[in-house]
Structure 1
Amino acid sequence: MTGSHGAIKLIEADCTSCMICARECPSWCISLDSHTEPIPDLPPGARERTSNVLDRFAIDWSLCMFCGICVEECPFDALEWAADPVAGVRAAPGLVHEIEDLARPPRASEA
């Protein structure tokens, strides 16, 4: 696809919930929520450590400008361009895609 791109795809396993994508987005179309959990099985005497766990990640396509800043700024490559565009919908709530929608390419039959 020369000169164009599809929707933005989330690679959930690579997302650390750092929120850089949401902070850098000029249209504020990315929402995410996370919590921290202790890292299990640390060596004896090690300082307790935590890791972020992604609870919610959503993109509101009615606000997204498809500028790609989120894709470029993610230091963990958890966002990438998908080959397929965002499928058309009949109502605005259908333009907010959650984790499960962003982790797979959109299908035109879901419009």
Structure 2
Amino acid sequence: MSERERSEATGLPGSGLVKGLAVTLKTMTKRSTTAQYPDVAPELPPRSRGVIALLEENCTVCMLCARECPDWCIYIDSHKEEVAVPGAARARQRNVLDRFDIDFSLCMYCGICIEVCPFDALYWSPEFEYAEYDIKDLLHDKDHLGEWMATVPPPPAHDPNGEPAKEETAAARKAAVPGSSAARPTTPGVRPAPPRAADDEGTPA
């Protein structure tokens, strides 16, 4: 049924036009929800997945992030160097990070690398304005990734109703084991005997 036939059926000519104008006026009086980006910065959640930041001093070159990455977009190179330890018989070796690159043209932002890192060397940053004209520039090196650390938000506060930390659980389990030092009862008011002093000749008294 056409608009003319519908108007003739209702007996009110132009009723459709009036309804359309009413919808238009109603929409015009509402507050606009369009984000005026880039003139107005968007309000993002504090833990948004924007870009991955690297805390280089925490990285031990364990290669877990590169091995677990499903896109193989993390490239790591390192070398070993000897570190002299006072009092040790020989110098120790440690890994030195030479290269840590992430190719964001391949990254799918799954966050597996951040989750598997045992030393908290990778973090999420809410920054997302790092588009490039050349796809080659999306390969961020360790210096560029380190610059994103300034934009990483602080961790959320501890939830008092949440699960206890694994360290606390392990300590409580150890204290519950009979015979452990943490589970031994102590007698109130009784102090342990002090060590016996040695005489002038160096023999125990």
2:64 corresponding residue in structure 1? 20
Q: Which amino acid aligns with 1:74?
A: C
2:79 corresponding residue in structure 1? 35
Contact 2:78 2:95 in 1 (8 A): yes
Q: Which amino acid aligns with 1:4?
A: S
Q: Secondary structure at the match of 1:37?
A: strand
Q: Secondary structure at the match of 1:55?
A: strand
Distance 1:72 1:42 in 2: 35
Which of the two has greater strand per residue?
1
Shift of 1:49: 1.9
Give structure 1 regions of 4+ aligned residues with deviation exceeding 2 angstroms.
Answer: none
Runs (5+) with no aligned partner, structure 2:
1-44, 150-205
Contact 1:60 1:97 in 2 (8 A): yes
Distance 2:122 2:88 in 1: 36
- The count of corresponding residues between Structure 1 and Structure 2 is 105
Quick check: which has more Rg, 1 or 2?
2
Shift of 1:105: 2.2
User: Structure 2-normalised TM-score?
Assistant: 0.48
Contact 1:83 1:105 in 2 (8 A): no
Q: What are the Cα deviations for residues 49-98 of structure 1, in whole angstroms up to 9, with x where unaligned?
A: 20000000000001101000000000000000012125100011101000
Q: Secondary structure at the match of 1:36?
A: strand
Which of 37, 40, 49 lines up with 1:5 in the alignment? 49
Shift of 1:5: 1.6
Q: Secondary structure at the match of 1:8?
A: strand
User: Structure 1-normalised TM-score?
Assistant: 0.87
Distance 2:134 2:80 in 1: 35
